[in-house]
Chain A
């Protein structure tokens, strides 16, 4: 008798006996992993397998042997093209049309130029803060290009490429960076904390890893909505985070609940080697983030983040996989190197060698790798490169100029949206502030804010 049929018989027997309660709450479409099947079965005296409820189908052994991660091979890193832009498996190819590859390249270049200019603008004191994506353009732009536009995205903060690829305009970026009246965040968030309802990307918060369980919950909501509207293209949730954020409790909590609730979510870890100054050797001792996936019962893949074709194919495949059997999470660890400083408030040469960074810039990065591939197919040359760069630079600076000239948002936005309606307490505070602004007009720059003091009147006039 095969093991499988023996277990089925055991299950049937167990369910008949009155001492064991049938598992009435098991939803019919839930996928139960092989090692958990037959959960209400007690062990028999001469069974070869353990039937403890916590680890069913584990075989007994009389060899005392610790599972030692240090003796295992590291998880392989998937790639499609090498660092010279050569396709490795010619039969499979890159899975991307030429025109699409060109668009991706242009977006990556645009992002890197925007980063350079904004970093400089911050250095000149024109922006309060900025964070670049250097070295990780391929991850954000590549993965976003492989998703459906209705998929819901949660970001950490180094995923400006996701916004760009989805259609966030240069003006949208600049308005947010300047916290001006046209910023859809109404000037409430630090620069780089973008958000967009139309593009289905939730607003970024500074708190690390908190978005990971949000993605699990959102994916669960989408799972229920998918089943309610089967004629609509099913949606998934996608969550980005760095390898440092993966040390937070929220990462653990999120992947575990995502697995137990079988949600359609892709968790994308950007492993760029550093969390501010902390190298990965101080962050974890396992085989990166990918090795943790299996522990949660989650399908996992490690990908070369400098290879946009690998990123795209992995994401596409993951999207198919997460929707299988009603939903199941996938973890992808995208390997990269953080070429830029952590942020404008950080000088990374205080904790790493300049030569190390230069080496990465020169040796391998997602932009040059794609450029080599494009040149190899005669789709790109030095002239086109020069033209693209000067055109992009002009466009960014024009948007920068427009945004810088805008006023700040109306002061009333300091109070709105805390609760759905203004509370009585807030009403009192708005009145007090208005009184202060009137009596000390020279102490505040109210004229730089749209509508000046009058915007507070609008707020008070609105009856809650």
Chain B
């Protein structure tokens, strides 16, 4: 039976509800729960549960156990927040503690299309938190100039898909500024460029991309991708503090979906260390950002089915990356899989796999497997077939163990 058609009034009330934005770029909202729309009989796909995943700190106790946190933070309080709130808290602390910090980008002032800059303009003034004209090359160039004169700008590109107009500014200018200035010591190291990245369920071609590999091919940049609210807060604060320009990619599907206990006080996480999320002896999976949740679910299923023990590593900082932690793990397990959303050719996985091959050749018992997006664009209705899911990671574990 076809549902009764809505009256025009209901429809217009629906369209006019306050959260519906009129900005063309934010017609959809990031909603993690919509993401993995699995088939009805699926056993593997659809098992990613953000409420139960061991990747998030569901209790204050586990959140404070993190040995990377300093003593005083580990004795402090935590609060249950999502990823966009964690970003907001990091920005808030940076603005509060350093008057050189500026926050700007398109639609920043009212809180941002993903709410990351909520209330910052009202609290810190529009001199420091402001809208820019709609021009990525302009706002990134502006940020580089401000950084070169001693400010610490945190510029936002509304979607990583729209960073390309600023590619020249990032690659030719931001990345090379210190090098070409020689011993004059001038640099634009206070610069952070934040951008929401990754698939979101229905982002199609221009709201889904993960262009990190394009930046990891550029000396002079740091590329950081957090996986959780705690990571987002600690890594963003470190990114703002470091004297190198940082590309900070926030997995937008996690903005609301990933909720965990996060220390209330500001803290800093290292920009050159990977994190072993789960120890194991039979196989190493290296990933970062959203796919870590997929990997975690796949590992749970595989360990149950095959009786294996898989180690999961979060790279966190994609460039420069922590080779030592990855190699140590692979030398122990002898098998490795790299998982990321962006496509395989010349992706981050290629670099990780080549490094493992070069530095752990004699310990390898199977070829390094890459589970990545296919060599295509993210067509709207095909996302679930293109991006690595639990089934594909599960199968990769199986194949690598059976090799």
Q: Which residues of A contact B (CB under 8 A)?
A: 24-27, 152, 154, 183-186, 188-189, 193, 195-197, 202-203, 205, 207, 210, 212-222, 224-225, 228, 237, 249-250, 252-254, 256-257, 260-261, 413, 417-420, 423-425
Judge whether B201 is part of the interface by a CB distance below 8 angstroms.
no
**Separation of A217 and B146 alpha carbons in the complex (Å):** 4
Within 8 A of A (CB), among B282-312: none
Contact A203 B138 (CB under 8 A): no
Contact A210 B179 (CB under 8 A): no
Picked from B127, B172, B181, the residue with its CB within 8 Å of the CB of A27 is B127
Q: Which residue among A216, A222, A237, A253 has the maximum number of chain B CB atoms within 10 Å of its CB?
A: A253
Contact A419 B244 (CB under 8 A): yes
CB pairs A–B below 8 angstroms (27 shown)? A24-B122, A25-B109, A26-B126, A154-B145, A184-B182, A186-B182, A186-B183, A189-B182, A193-B180, A195-B180, A195-B184, A196-B184, A205-B173, A213-B144, A214-B173, A217-B141, A220-B142, A221-B146, A224-B127, A250-B137, A250-B141, A253-B139, A256-B133, A261-B130, A420-B243, A423-B320, A425-B323
Contact A189 B148 (CB under 8 A): no
CB distance from A389 to the nearest CB of B (A): 32
**Separation of A216 and B189 alpha carbons in the complex (Å):** 18
Picked from A184, A214, A250, A425, the residue with its CB within 8 Å of the CB of B183 is A184
B-chain residues with CB within 8 Å of residue A252 when the two chains form the complex: 135, 138
A-chain residues with CB within 8 Å of residue B121 when the two chains form the complex: 25
CB distance from A435 to the nearest CB of B (A): 16
Q: Would A197 and B186 be within 8 Å (CB), given that A25-B126, A214-B144, A220-B146 are in contact? A: yes
**Residue on A with the closest CB to B165?**
A249
Within 8 A of A (CB), among B160-189: 165, 168-169, 172-173, 176, 178-187, 189
B-chain residues with CB within 8 Å of residue A260 when the two chains form the complex: 132-133
A-chain residues with CB within 8 Å of residue B182 when the two chains form the complex: 183-186, 188-189, 195, 203, 413, 417
B-chain residues with CB within 8 Å of residue A254 when the two chains form the complex: 138, 141-142
Contact A215 B320 (CB under 8 A): no
Picked from B146, B180, B243, the residue with its CB within 8 Å of the CB of A189 is B180
CB distance from A327 to the nearest CB of B (A): 11
Q: Would A253 and B178 be within 8 Å (CB), given that A216-B145, A419-B320 are in contact? A: no
CB distance from B232 to the nearest CB of A (A): 22
Q: Would A256 and B138 be within 8 Å (CB), given that A197-B185, A425-B320 are in contact? A: yes
**Segment touching A, from B7-15, B149-157, B328-336:** B149-157
CB distance from A272 to the nearest CB of B (A): 24
**Separation of A221 and B186 alpha carbons in the complex (Å):** 15
Q: Which residue among A205, A220, A249 has the maximum number of chain B CB atoms within 10 Å of its CB?
A: A220
CB distance from A141 to the nearest CB of B (A): 22
CB distance from B328 to the nearest CB of A (A): 13
**Separation of A181 and B243 alpha carbons in the complex (Å):** 26
Judge whether B60 is part of the interface by a CB distance below 8 angstroms.
no
Contacts A254-B142, A257-B133, A420-B178 aside, 17 further interface pairs with beta carbons under 8 A come to A27-B127, A184-B183, A188-B180, A188-B182, A195-B182, A195-B184, A197-B181, A197-B186, A205-B180, A212-B141, A213-B138, A217-B145, A217-B148, A217-B149, A256-B138, A260-B132, A419-B219
Picked from A195, A215, A256, A423, the residue with its CB within 8 Å of the CB of B181 is A195
A-B residue pairs, 3 tightest by C-beta: A213-B141, A217-B145, A253-B138
Picked from B148, B179, B187, the residue with its CB within 8 Å of the CB of A218 is B148
**Separation of A249 and B141 alpha carbons in the complex (Å):** 11
Picked from B139, B146, B178, the residue with its CB within 8 Å of the CB of A418 is B178
Contact B135 A257 (CB under 8 A): yes
Judge whether B125 is part of the interface by a CB distance below 8 angstroms.
yes
Q: Would A257 and B127 be within 8 Å (CB), given that A197-B184, A197-B186 are in contact? A: no
CB distance from B46 to the nearest CB of A (A): 39
Picked from A222, A420, A423, the residue with its CB within 8 Å of the CB of B242 is A420
Q: Which residue among A26, A217, A237, A257 has the maximum number of chain B CB atoms within 10 Å of its CB?
A: A217
A-chain residues with CB within 8 Å of residue B99 when the two chains form the complex: 228
**Separation of A202 and B145 alpha carbons in the complex (Å):** 10
Judge whether B220 is part of the interface by a CB distance below 8 angstroms.
yes
CB distance from B156 to the nearest CB of A (A): 14
CB distance from A63 to the nearest CB of B (A): 32
CB distance from B97 to the nearest CB of A (A): 16
**Residue on A with the closest CB to B179?**
A417
